[in-house]
Amino acid sequence: MNVAAAHRRMALAVVLLAIASFAASQRDAWVLVAGGGLAIAAVALTEGPRARTLPSWAVRVGVLGAIAWGGIQFASRPGPEEAAGIVGTVVLVAMLVKLGDRKRARDWRQVAVLAVVLVVSAALASSELPVGALVIAAIAALVPFAMLHQMQAGAEAAADARRAAVPEGSAGLAVDAPQGSRVSRSVRRTAFAGIVIGLAMSVAAFAVFPRDISGSGQGGARVSGFRPDVQLWSGGRISQSSRVAMTVRLLDPRDVAAELTMPLRMRGAVLDRYDPDEARWRERMDRTRWKTFRPAPGGRFEPFAPEVRDERSNVWTQVVQMRSLASDRVFSAWMPLAIASEESRAFALDTRTGEISDYGGSAGRPRGYAIRMQAYPQAKFVQAVLPGSAPAEGRAPSFPVPRIREIAESILRESDLVDLPDEAEASRDPELRRVRDRRIAAYFEAYLSSARFRYTTDLSAFRRVGDEDPIVLFLERYRFGHCELFASAMAALCRSMGIDARLVTGFISTEYDGVADRFVFRESGAHAWVEVRTGDWQWVTFDPSPMEELLAIQQANRTWLDGFRWLLDPVEFAWNSRFAGFDSRSQAEIAERLGAGSRQARDWMGARADDVRALAVRWFMPGAAGFAWLVSAASAAALGVAAVVILLRRSRRIRRQLGAGALGHAERRRLARDARFYLDALDALRRAGLAKPRWRTPLAHAEALREVAPSAAAAFREIAERLYRVRFAGERPTAADRAAADAAVLRLRAALASGYTR
């Protein structure tokens, strides 16, 4: 093996894996094609006898230019979601430029460091299965690269030292990097051990060290495009993937599969708090309003309130099957009444918003569940299931950005709404207030979904302007954006006019699989819309996003590969559930399971020990005679085990000393019998302090003995030559040969006993 060539190949492999992982995290095949092609070309052109490298000034300019570009991007898009992509792009450019420079061991080390940073950027940007697999492969490739790098760096340092020691004007000998089959095998074995140990330590660290991924929804955002908050300055979170997140079978009150004529929306998170400093919508986390339910495994429904246990009027059922999405959120189309699961799991219901979350149970995330629900629930059922959803007394809805109120009033002045009750009339009559709120909300929905605004997922031109809020910029300046901006604008307009409104995130779909009678929800169907209060216990859905443009974009994301997604979906779900969604709660569940398992194992072992003791008492009878018999049997068993261990160790030593590891059992026994004289000679040398090293051949050791014990060297040389005839020539020694070999061993012992020079 040529270490220098292997070092270059392994370094290139690390670079290509880093580029591939970053390209997968950005979902941009051109990054892989262009970056990988440039990397291969740079290594090919800069190595060899006619190497061509970039000038030093060009390398510095390229790296500084990449850093300057990254600084400009951070200044214009300072959101944390873009940070990993920007850093990765800067590092990618710097790495490609560095590959065009001259490269000694130190330069390859710098390239490897940049590759590691690129891999980390990919891991921070996405937790999808392809990215994770490529990151693991890149980290595994770093182990053999590190070892080869140490060998190459040592060879270069030795060559430099040798050249420095040669007098000026003299020709020095070249020092090559180590090579050969022995070096290759050693590197492979050590690299394999390093990879196994590294992966084991990584798994241990992954399982032990605390973190919180799913609790904030970050993991889910990178996986599906959905998460339980909305950050309006982030334009990179709208997923365009055509992967199937989940399928939903919708059953009408007669338990018959039904296809709706309208889009089906699946609620995941309800957001009613807006932070103008961060331009972020959040949900109001109040665990005191949560109620926990644990439905019995097997599909039996657990009602959320006793009042709905036997209700059948207008009760629909949705059966959800997760595909690639693994989330702790339980998605429901309408107000939930009861839940069922085939797994043993606990679910938490927020009695204020109707959100449902997976609360633990089986490891990972739920693969499927069923929910009974009502689209237009009666007030008594809402009051029973969601007692915390009543309006707050004496607290009128408002929005923390004053400019939104001015925009809302300007929009209403230009509207064609007639006979609209004013705020004073609405405050005196609750029914008039609901009528007023419903009409204003409907107008805001029509206003935003009109031709005045354009739907797009490309927000590269949506830039910050001073301290202006993004909702204000959307309404007055840009007038384009995705569903989060449309929904945020409507919720803000409604709340600024005193109308109770909230943002909802989840999924939307109009794709119906008629063969399987299921709605198909894709990752590109991650959506946001608005719910407006129209009664003390009623909320109505409003969706201001232009529906035709939204569905056209989703339709364009479908490909011919969709028919084969079922092959990969289970693997992706396992990855997202067990790895991407592994958080502190999952750690606690694993610790609890390990504790329960250890207790069960301890109890089982104790019970088996009691059984053995009882059996011993029954067989051997109590008393001195029985005890003596038991001690004798135990001693005999111990001696037998010791004899087996000694024989195994002896057999292993014989195989090692005779180099017979590749031979069959019968051939090894024959060789051990015919070459017994050689083993006796090795024992004699070992006792005399002249043991043969494992790496030295017998004849070479005989030559080495010539300096310290010439007579012993002559005897051992004769023994070595006899061994060669038996081991490699297949000679079967006769009785005379055996006697001559034993005589040579006696001469060796006599020579060693007479003394020698050490």
What is the DSSP secondary structure assignment for residue 433, as one 8-state letter?
A: H
Q: Are residues 276 and 376 in the same domain?
A: yes
* Claim to verify: residue 338 and residue 243 sit in the same structural domain: yes
- Residue 586's pLDDT band, with cuts at 50, 70 and 90, is low
Across residues 391-420, what is the average pLDDT?
A: 86
Q: Is 661 inside a domain boundary?
A: no
Q: By C-alpha distance, which of 108, 92, 94 is closest to 47?
A: 108
Instruction: Give the model's pLDDT for residue 45.
Output: 83
Confidence of residue 593 (pLDDT cuts 50, 70, 90): low
Q: DSSP for 636-697, please give it.
A: HHHHHHHHHHHHHHHHHHHHHHHT-TTS-HHHHHHHHHHTHHHHHHHHHHHHTT-PPPTTS-
- How many structural domains compose the chain? 3
Whether the pLDDT of residue 276 is over 50: the answer is yes
pLDDT (average), residues 716-737: 85
Lowest average pLDDT, out of 45-49, 133-137, 573-577, 637-641, goes to 573-577
Q: How far apart are CA 311 and CA 295, in angstroms?
A: 18
Lowest mean pLDDT among 268-272, 597-601, 634-638, 676-680: 597-601
pLDDT at 710 over 80: yes
Residues 6+ apart with CB under 8 A from 178: 3, 151, 155
Q: Which range, of 10-24, 94-108, 316-330, 608-622, averages the lowest pLDDT?
A: 608-622
Instruction: Tell me how far apart the terminal alpha carbons of the chain are, to the nearest angstrom.
Output: 37
164-168, 471-475, 671-675: which is most confident: 471-475
Please work out, in degrees rounded to the nearest 5, the angle formed at the alpha carbon of residue 61 by the alpha carbons of 58 and 66. 125
Same domain? 159 vs 249: no
The verdict on residue 658 lying in a domain is: no
pLDDT number for residue 370: 94
Q: Give the DSSP per-residue string, 186-240.
A: HHHHHHHHHHHHHHHHHHHHHHHS---STTTTHHHHHHHS--S-EETT--S----
Helices (H) and strands (E) in the chain, counts: 23, 20
The answer to whether the beta carbons of residues 355 and 283 sit under 8 Å apart is yes
Instruction: Quote the CA–CA distance of 438 and 699 in Å, as a whole number.
Output: 101
Pairing, β 264-271 against β 501-509? antiparallel
Burial group, residue 14, by CB count within 10 angstroms (0-12, 13-18, 19+): buried
pLDDT value at residue 501: 95
Tell me the mean pLDDT in the region 88-101: 87
Q: Which of 87-91, 328-332, 668-672 has the lowest mean pLDDT?
A: 668-672
Q: Is residue 631 part of a domain?
A: no
- Tens of pLDDT along 444-466? 999 999 999 999 887 878 888 88
Q: What average pLDDT does the structure give for the chain?
A: 80
Tell me the mean pLDDT in the region 157-183.
63
Please tell me the least confidently modeled range out of 78-87, 274-283, 292-301. Answer: 78-87
Determine the average pLDDT of the residues in 153-178: 67
Specify the pLDDT at position 214. Answer: 41
Q: What is the mean pLDDT of residues 544-551?
A: 83
Assigned token pair, 11: 């370094």
The residues pairing with 360 across neighbouring beta strands, listed in sequence order, are: 346
Which pLDDT value is given to residue 207?
57
Q: Residue type at 236?
A: G
The mean per-residue pLDDT over the stretch 660-678 comes to 76
Q: What is the mean pLDDT of residues 699-721?
A: 87
Range 176-180 average pLDDT: 53
pLDDT over 80 at 66, yes or no: yes
One domain for residues 195 and 291: no
**Residue numbers of the domain that contains 720:** 675-753
Between 669 and 590, name the one with better pLDDT: 669
Same domain, yes or no: 313 and 356: yes
State yes or no: pLDDT of 498 exceeds 80.
yes
Summarize the confidence of residues 683-691 as an average pLDDT: 86
SS3 541: strand
260 shares its domain with 152: no
Confidence class for position 237, pLDDT limits 50, 70, 90: very low
The residue among 627 and 693 whose pLDDT is bigger is: 693
Answer yes or no: are the C-beta atoms of 35 and 19 closer than 8 Å: yes
- Does residue 351 lie within any of the structural domains? yes
pLDDT value of position 611: 80
Same-domain pairing of 158 and 241 = no
Helical pair 624-658 and 665-674, crossing angle rounded to 10 deg? 80
**Lowest mean pLDDT, pick from 521-535, 631-645, 651-665, 734-748:** 651-665
Instruction: Please indicate, yes or no, if residue 374 is contained in any of the structural domains.
Output: yes
Give the separation between CA 8 and CA 16, rounded to whole angstroms.
12
Give dist(CA 81, CA 233) in Å, integer: 9
Concatenated DSSP letters for 136-166?
A: HHHHHHHHHHHHHHHHHHHHHHHHHHHHHHS
**Mean pLDDT computed over 189-205:** 70
145 and 262: one domain? no
d(CA 246, CA 370): 13
Amino acid at 82: E
How buried is residue 584: exposed, middle or buried, by Cβ count under 10 Å (0-12/13-18/19+)? middle
Do 502 and 270 meet the contact criterion of CB atoms below 8 Å apart?
yes
Question: Which element (helix H / strand E) includes 270?
Answer: strand 264-271
Q: Is residue 517 part of a domain?
A: yes
Q: Are residues 55 and 195 in the same domain?
A: yes
> Among 224, 90, 105, 102, which residue's Cα sits nearest to residue 158?
105
Q: Which residues pair with 504 in a beta bridge?
A: 270, 529
Instruction: Report residue 440's pLDDT band, with 50, 70 and 90 as the boundaries.
Output: very high
Whether residues 242 and 184 share a domain: the answer is no
Q: Which residues pair with 257 in a beta bridge?
A: 251
Average pLDDT over residues 290-298: 87
Same domain, 61 and 199: yes
Considering 533, 551, 580, which residue would you say is the last residue of a domain? Answer: 580
Q: What confidence score (pLDDT) does residue 506 get?
A: 92
> In which band, very low, low, confident or very high, does the pLDDT at 27 lie, cut at 50, 70 and 90?
confident
Domain assignment present for residue 466? The answer is: no
How far is residue 41's CA from residue 53's CA, in Å, rounded to a whole number? 11
Secondary structure (H, E, C), 480-492:
EECHHHHHHHHHH
pLDDT at position 436 over 80: yes
pLDDT at res. 216 = 38
Q: Which DSSP symbol is given to 698?
A: H
Q: Which of 454, 499, 447, 457 is nearest to 478 (CA)?
A: 454
Q: Which of 546, 563, 549, 553 is nearest to 525 (CA)?
A: 553
Mean predicted confidence (pLDDT) in 257-272:
90
CA angle 511, 489, 261 (to 5 degrees): 25
Instruction: Give pLDDT, residue 215.
Output: 39
Q: Is the dihedral of CA 534, 500, 264, 349 positive or negative?
A: negative
Distance CA 595, CA 606 (A): 16
**604 sits in which H/E element:** helix 584-620
CB 714 within 8 A of CB 699: no
CA distances from 456 to 462, 549, 577 (A): 11, 8, 31
* pLDDT tens by residue, 596-628: 677 778 788 888 888 877 776 666 555 556 667
Residue 471's pLDDT is what? 95
Interatomic CA distance for residues 370 and 251, integer angstroms: 10
pLDDT surpassing 70 at residue 589: no
Closest CA to 457 of 542, 528, 550: 550
385 and 333 in a single domain? The answer is yes
On the question of pLDDT at 562 being above 60, the answer is no
User: Above pLDDT 70, what percent of the chain?
Assistant: 80
pLDDT class of 219 with cuts at 50, 70, 90: very low
Per the domain annotation, does 170 fall within a domain?
A: no
**Cα gap 302→283, rounded to integer Å:** 26
